[in-house]
Amino acid sequence: MLPVITISREFGSGGHSIGEKVAKKLGIPFYDSEIVTKTAIESGYAKELIEEQGEDTSSANKWFSISAASAMYFQSPQDEIFLAQRKVILECAAKGPCVIVGRCSDYILKNEEIPCMNVLIHADMIHRISRVNERYGEIKNVDTKKRIQKKDKQRLTYYRYYTDQHWGDYRNYDISLDSGNLGEDTCVDLICELAERFIPE
C-alpha cells in the first residue's frame, strides 16, 4: 500500500512540480494550494491571509505572537491558521495515500497511525534563481537571490516555531534529493519507486 508522501521543499527547487508529477504517476491526490482553500473554509480566514501566513513568518511576527500570547492567553491569527491547517492535513491524510506539500506536514503526521514517507527537495542557488525567475517572473528592483533567502528565513522560522525542530534536519526525512543536480524527472521516478516499495514501520 502506498504511503502518504510529504514534500518539504526549498523555495525554487521544484518541489510543487515534483509533488504534482509524483501524485499523477501514482494516481493519488495532490494537495498544495488545495490545503489553502480547505483551511480558509475551516478557519474562516481569507485565502490570501492563509497563503501569506500558512507557511512563512518573519521573526518579528513571531516575537509579537509570543509576547501577545503569553501576556494575554489568546491565539494569534497565525496560530489559528496553523491549527486549522493541521486539521485539514490530518483529514486529507486519513483519506488514504496522497502527496502533501509543505506546511509542516511531515511533523504533523509524525506520530499518527498513517504510513508516511517524508521527502526533502532542495537545489543550489543558481538553479533556484533560474527557476524562480522562470516560474514567477522577475520582479523589478527585486534581487531574486535575496527574495529566495528571505523566503527561506521565513519558512525556517515558521517551522521552528510550530514544530520545535530544524527544517532540513536530515534525520526527519526518508529521502532527500538535490533536484538541481539530479533533474526533476529523476526525482519523480525515484520518489515513485520508493513509494511503491515502502513498508511502514
CB 108 within 8 A of CB 90: yes
Q: Give the separation between CA 161 and CA 156, rounded to whole angstroms.
A: 8
Report the chain's terminal Cα–Cα distance, integer Å: 13
CA separation (Å) from 175 to 43, 145, 153, 178?
Answer: 32, 26, 22, 10
Site string for a copy of itself, 176-195 (x = CB under 8 A): xxx--xxx--x--xx--xx-
Residue with cell 509543505: 102
Q: How far is the CB of 166 from a copy of itself (least distance, A)?
A: 11
If one asks whether residue 132 binds a copy of itself (CB under 8 A), the answer comes out as: no
If one asks whether residue 21 binds a copy of itself (CB under 8 A), the answer comes out as: no
Q: How far is the CB of 45 from a copy of itself (least distance, A)?
A: 32
Q: Which long-range contacts (CB under 8 A, 24 or more apart) does 182-187 make?
A: 184/14, 184/17, 184/18, 184/21, 187/14, 187/18, 187/121
Binding a copy of itself (rule: CB under 8 A), the pick from 34, 51, 80, 174 is 174
Q: How far is the CB of 78 from a copy of itself (least distance, A)?
A: 26
Phi/psi of residue 127, nearest 5 degrees: -65, -40
Instruction: Sort residue 5 into left (φ over 0), alpha (ψ -120 to 50) or beta.
Output: beta
Q: How far is the CB of 193 from a copy of itself (least distance, A)?
A: 7
Nearer to a copy of itself, 2 or 190 (CB): 190
Q: How far is the CB of 148 from a copy of itself (least distance, A)?
A: 13
Nearer to a copy of itself, 68 or 194 (CB): 194
Q: Which residues are at the interface with a copy of itself (CB under 8 A)?
A: 120, 122, 124, 168, 170-171, 173-178, 181-183, 186, 189-190, 193-194, 197-199, 201
